Structure 1
Amino acid sequence: MTTSRTHLVDTLDRLLTPERFKDYGPNGLQVEGRAEVRRLVSGVTASRALIEAAIAERADAILVHHGLFWRGQDGRVTGWMKQRLSLLLAHDINLLAYHLPLDAHPELGNNAQLARLLGVAVYDDARGRFGEQSMGFLGERRSDSASALADHVAAVLGRPVTLVAGPDHPVRHVALCTGGAQGYFEAAIAAGADAFITGEISEPQAHYARECGVAYIACGHHASERYGAPAVGAHVAAALGLEHVFIDIPNPA
């Protein structure tokens, strides 16, 4: 089966409601390709490696979390930007990117999918959201200590994590905000979290963790955001009768 590019974009827009978010770049169709879509590839970032892999998979459209265009970037089409755009245009592939909307979806988004994977039961009332644009998720996942929780996260994601914590104590309330969400740590503390899980850590958060007694677990930007795009891609493909393939391009960050 096939669907039109317009129908695919409309379906994604209805699902992810990008108009609700103040974001760092354009959400939705970023590069226009062929009018009919049969095969959808999802991935985390619109890198050249992903685009080349999607070409090998005969993709008509690529759905990503990190697109090509960001606020404040150099607008010239040179170097890596030319290489990526040339591949998309030469093969007539549509590129669709959803940043914050793909983090925030309550069931299929990066935060919800990571919470499900880690066994965090997100609160279904007002407690379940915190921070700017309500991007942070808060739920319950009991652990004997922050160290035990960090070991669990590392085992599930299959990679080392960074843990910063004061004296170890039992954990119950766990906050999550995937990717580069270190700026949400103070909001997580205010929301009553015992531990905060995100992708990255910056210098100030280590001090906050030790001083406030809330554990900070950084598990990698890419590692924390591998789950929203394939969940949304599979959901939309099933609804529209499309073929869908998730391609994960490894990234140590």
Structure 2
Amino acid sequence: MLRNSKITSHHFFFYSLVLTILLAILFAVSIRLALPKINIYKNEIEFIISDYMGYSVDIDTINAEWKGWTPNLYLENIKLLSERNNSEIIQFHSARIGINLVESISKGVVTPSYIQISGLNLNVYRNKDGAISIKNDNSLNTNANNQPGLTEWLFTQKYLILKNVNLVWNDENINIGRKEFNNISLELKKDEKNTQIELNTDLSQQEEQLFKINANITGDILTSTWQGDINLELINIDPARFTNKLYI
């Protein structure tokens, strides 16, 4: 009798496991079939992205495809809009969003695994106390700490990739005036305690001059109290151009 009950429980566990796997496969297949028609759900997707970003968005074109087991959304001509008068705050040329299926299902909310934005003009400011703020030509609203909303949004993303960025750097802390960098790629990864930053830029394509920064920041980077390790890598560049100024 005991042996029969064990067999029954094993069968029950086995069939439950098989059913779960089948449901997961059916769910994945249904998403795969829906992705080519994703633009039909443009309004719904705009609502989801607006809720996640905290700002109203207007998206011109939406496409999607699978990469492995990760669905990816491809967005073109994205505008963030003011909730007060629906005016344009900032515009992205294109964006790519990877969806974390497991976390999205467990939380019941669409959860990105990464966000990649291309074509952005940024103005970075560091004041005399070391606090950093980032603005676009059209800045987002400021938060309660008088930080531009764009700065807060950028540094609260778990994994953000910026491509083809035109950046203007102003640094009062080390007395550097306006410096312009083009075609920058920037990656931001954030957990509860640390912010990892990787920046790459071609200073001269003809001379193959590359400038790379890797930083591991502890604390709130939006204030002057942050600490961290910052490593510079210069390729085909005279270090003397930077060492007399780039101390942190």
TM-score by length of 1: 0.28
When you count strand as a share of all residues, which structure comes out higher? 2
Decide which structure has the larger Cα Rg and report it.
2
When you count helix as a share of all residues, which structure comes out higher? 1
The structure whose RCO (Cα within 8 Å, separation 6+) is larger is: 1
TM-score by length of 2: 0.29
